[in-house]
Amino acid sequence: MEPLTPAVFHILLSLVDGEKHGYGIMLEVERTTSGMVRLGPGTLYGTIQRLLKARMIEEAGEGTDTRLNSERRRYYRLTTQGLEAAKAEAERLEAVVQAARAKDLLHQPRPSKEGA
């Protein structure tokens, strides 16, 4: 499988824990990346259309988001294919991080203080 683009991976990752509407996806990506990745509307909705066409996500219907003035919004969810693509990309990225650590490019993670 080819590596996913960052936008595709972040959108799929944001949907792993449940359905979201476009704006919710945008906020989740920004939150989980501490603001380092921000998807503008063009990138977000263009990527969503490609993911729908590739059957990695599907529309979950419309819902009302009470936090957004009761506007009707389209919700999206992962398909099995999308989940598998996200898992494969996460594993690929983990291998890249391990290679970077092996070359002392990144510090080894500190052991958890739990149980100390």
Share of the chain above pLDDT 90, in %: 76
- pTM for the full model? 0.83
Domains of the chain, by residue range, sit at: 6-100
Hey, what CATH class is 6-100 in? mainly alpha
Residue range 2-7: average pLDDT?
95
The sign of the dihedral angle between the CA atoms of 42, 53, 22, 70 is positive
> Would you state the pLDDT for residue 106?
85
Predicted confidence (pLDDT) per residue in 28-85, tens digit: 999 999 999 999 999 999 999 999 999 999 998 766 555 555 567 899 999 999 999 9
